[in-house]
Structure 1
Amino acid sequence: MEILELDPTDADARRRWHEVREGSVRADRPHALTTTLGAFEATATAASTYVARTWLQAVDGSEVVGVAELELPLTENLDVAWCEVGVLPGRRRRGVGRALWDAVVERSRAAGRTRVGGEVSVDVDVAGAGHAFATAMGAVERHREDHLLARLPVPATPIAPDYEVVTWRGRCPDEHRGAYLAMRNQMNADVPTGELDLETTVLDDERLAASERGLMKAYDVRVAAARRRSDGTFGGYSLLFVPHGEDYGWQDDTLVMPEHRGHRLGAALKSANYAGLPDHVGVVHTWTAPDNTAMHRTNTALGFRVVEHMYEMEASIASDGPG
């Protein structure tokens, strides 16, 4: 067996890599939300100013038996690498995962990184190996969120009378971009990170535009925002992605600005986004920290239920550390 880098220009190799990731993730995570082939293709074939990516594969003969993705932030958190490691169930406990991890650590150290982070999700009913593997590699838990799922339709939540819902798909219209950037940056500052020590990402128009262009290649991007009628001030937004050709959506950010809280805007914005989805979309995924009781109540009222626990793990890879 050898660890090789994926050639991102090879379409067949990209497809095989994605198939192995799917097979490794879904073996013990029936509710897993994975990256679609279309989304992976969009990422693998486009350069980024903000992150460098490498895709690794464990090859035994001509068979790919495990994969890893390595992301190196280029503009902030320059001491951190992010990774995901997956091994097909029939090839586990044979050193494949460890070999991929060692390759991740080697490349991360070479790039000057001193810690590697990643997400490990565990189904609430099905035993999985991901958390035990991460712990064996020296990773410790820094933050936890619940992965929740709701089947559509959900109960309608009307917007408060003092507000109106403004929606768009894809690129944020020019007339809303200033307000949208302010809300996105507030979200980045407020998002719970537990014990993770990370620099906050600050969006400007260029970075927002780059994100929008990339996302629109693979997703129907939908935003519902709350605007106060009296003065036109935006008080919150909810961001939803629907992968092209799929029957589910995944809920990204939902934020209500501090001075606009107490009007159930979060529930109303989610409800508005879901009501606008085409009939074939029947499921929505979302993630919420267990101690975010307000959002947990909102999600429960909309019919969401916890299906997985997601752990954000981190390992020190200083030269004398694990790995």
Structure 2
Amino acid sequence: MKIEVVDPQDDARLLRWNAVLRESYASGRRHVWSRSDDATRLQFQNPHPTRRSVLLLADIDGVAVGAAEAHVHPGDPAEVEIAVRDDHRRRGIGGALLRAVREALRPSATVIRAETYSDDGVSFALSAGLRVGSRESRQIVGLPISEGTLADQDEHPDDIDIHSWSGPCPDELLEGWARLRSRVSDEVPMGTLTRATMRPDVQAVRRNEQRMSEQGYILVRSLARAGEESVAYTEILLSRSDTEIVHQDDTFVEERVRGRGVGRALKVANARLLMGLPESAGSRILQTYPEPTNTPMLTLNRSFGFEEADVLTVLEGPLA
């Protein structure tokens, strides 16, 4: 077996690497979204200015049998993914890839974090010294959601205004959006995982919007305001290169307005906006990731018709 670093500018090898990750990610699962080749090119051939990425490909006699992906921002845990093709598992390939990732990350990180949807993946990570930090229920609902379902949920307090748009945040809402985004890292349930500190940074929001647009994503967003103050938001990611499965990203409601239907109103507004976009005509599945202990969100999702597809386990441990 040979493990080599993938040069993102080597287009053929980059896509070969992504194919192994995509195949492994979807194995034994249904309605799975994975990164398209176009998004892979855009993400890695124009790298993030402050993030270090490690891309590894394992070959046996010229056949790609495994791949690894790792990303780290200064001071944060490194996000690691290990993939081995089904017909080459239990041969030590995953362990060899993880050792190579740890060696490559040594100057940049002290903690690694990994995600898996399988019991075998959990066992592998535990044997490598990681611990379970959190679990999330991957839930899906068919698109389009009926207008009847949305109408049943469509009410919110009179003192709350909902603003919806696709693409970059309007200038007049940007400061409030950035402030709420920074709150997520402090307040959203993360089990025992290491929390990253995020400052309200409007320039970081603009940089992220630019990169997401360059990678082919449409940002579908709704923001709730009480008077002149932003109090809640939600965001959906729609990939132009693969519109079938749409990803519900963050939903955050400040504690002072929770229990008043604000989150529900945001989700109704955002679903309507999504389904009104021409790019969503081929969209068939909307997926989201609440924690199994987040009872209010689970109840809200059920009212929209979401059902559990599988469970994501996130593990974390020392780099060494």
TM-score, normalised via structure 2 length: 0.90
Take 1:306 and 1:168, find their aligned partners in 2: how far apart are those partners?
28
Contact 1:238 / 1:255 at 8 angstroms: preserved in 2? yes
Contiguous gaps of at least 5 residues in structure 2: none
1:227 Cα deviation after fit: 2.5
Q: How does 1:195-274 map to 2 (within 5 A)?
A: 195-217=192-214, 218-228=216-226, 231-245=227-241, 246-274=243-271
Work out whether 1:105 is the aligned partner of 2:102. yes
CA deviation after TM superposition for structure 1 residue 203, in Å: 4.1
SS in 2 for 1:196: coil
Partner of residue 306, structure 2: 304
SS for the counterpart of 2:289 is strand
Q: For the structure 1 residues 52 and 145, does the alpha-carbon distance in structure 2 shift closer, same or farther, using more than 3 Å as the test? A: same
| Count of residue pairs brought into register by the alignment | 307
1:165 aligns to what? 162
Which residue matches 1:321?
Answer: none
Amino acid at match of 1:306: E
Match status 1:47 vs 2:47: yes
Contact residue 159 and residue 165 of structure 1 kept, 8 A: no
In the TM superposition, residue 292 of structure 1 has moved relative to its aligned partner by 1.1
Distance in 2 separating the partners of 1:186 and 1:199: 11
Amino acid at match of 1:61: D
* Whole-Å separation in 2 of the counterparts to 1:317 and 1:105: 6
CA distance in 1, matches of 2:73, 2:98: 18
Residue identity matched to 2:133: R
**Deviations 1:246-285, CA, capped at 9 Å, x for gaps:** 2221100111122222221112211221122233222101
Is residue 36 of structure 1 aligned with residue 32 of structure 2? no
TM-score, normalised to structure 1, is 0.90
Opposite residue 307 of structure 1, the aligned amino acid is: A
Once the 2 structures are TM-superposed, how far is the Cα of residue 40 of structure 1 from its aligned partner?
1.9
Q: Secondary structure at the match of 1:288?
A: coil
SS in 2 for 1:138: coil
Structure 2: which amino acid aligns with 1:36? S
Q: Structure 1 or 2: larger helix share?
A: 2
Q: Distance in 2 between matches of 1:188 and 1:285?
A: 21
- Structural mapping, 1:274-289, within 5 Å: 274-276=271-273, 277=275, 278-289=280-291
Question: Aligned ranges for residues 133-148 of structure 1 at < 5 Å?
Answer: 133-148=124-139
SS at match of 1:247: strand
Give the RMSD, CA atoms, in angstroms: 1.7
- The answer to whether the aligner puts 1:132 opposite 2:132 as a matched pair is no
Is residue 82 of structure 1 aligned with residue 79 of structure 2? yes
Q: Is the 2:110–2:319 Cα contact (8 Å) retained in structure 1?
A: yes
Distance 1:99 1:273 in 2: 44
Distance in structure 2 (CA, Å) of the matches to 1:117 and 1:186: 21
Q: 1:173: how far off?
A: 1.3
Aligned equivalents of 1:50 and 1:147: distance in 2?
A: 30
Aligned-partner Cα distance in 2 for 1:167–1:120: 33
Contact 1:188/1:202 (8 A) holds in 2:
no
Deviations along 1:142-182, one digit per CA (max 9) or x if unpaired, are: 11111111112152121413333211211111111011111
1:50 and 1:312 map into 2 onto residues whose CA distance is 24
Q: Percent identity?
A: 27
Q: Which amino acid aligns with 2:185?
A: N
Following superposition, the deviation at residue 233 of structure 1 comes to: 2.6
Q: Structure 2 CA distance, aligned partners of 1:31 and 1:133?
A: 24
